[in-house]
Amino acid sequence: MKKVRTPIDVRYQETDQMGVVYHANYLIWFEIGRTKFIEELGLSYIEMEKQNVVSPVLDANIKFNKPVRYGEAVYVDTWLEEYDGLRSAYGYEVIREDGEIAVSGITRHVIVNKETFRPLSLRKKFPEWHKVYSEVVRGD
């Protein structure tokens, strides 16, 4: 399975009153990891958006195992968990410096027309994405 590791420096503004990363910020980190993962595959969200297509989150699941605090350096490991030609699911793990998994999660996405929000087939609209995603899911 192809995984991409993205470093994250925990910033003060990302923490709550307890000095722990505020839970919603992990979704931002997931997005950073997902974007880096896609770039590492040679693909580009920017090119997709130039064609008036966006990829909204349908579902997000997050499991919090250990706190992450201001000043820590962590990594987000990202991979393609599932792909069926229409929907894509990305997996994530936020790894602390000590190697412990602090947070894990999955987000599920489709692509849609930016104006109408009508779903599109990734397989048909972006055949190069489909080819790469199919290979990644199979482990080629």
- Mean residue pLDDT of the chain comes to 96
Structure tokens at 117: 């929000």
pLDDT per residue as tens digits for the range 37-63:
999 999 999 999 999 999 999 999 999
pLDDT at 140: 74
In this prediction, residue 139 carries a pLDDT of 84
Domain that holds residue 16: 4-138
Number of domains present in the structure of the chain: 1
- Provide the CATH number for the domain around residue 34: 3.10.129.10
Stretch 93-110: mean pLDDT: 97
127 falls in which pLDDT band (50, 70, 90)?
very high
Q: Report d(CA 124, CA 103) in Å as an integer.
A: 34
CA distance 21 to 19: 7
User: Which are the catalytic amino acids?
Assistant: 16
Q: What does pTM read for this prediction?
A: 0.94
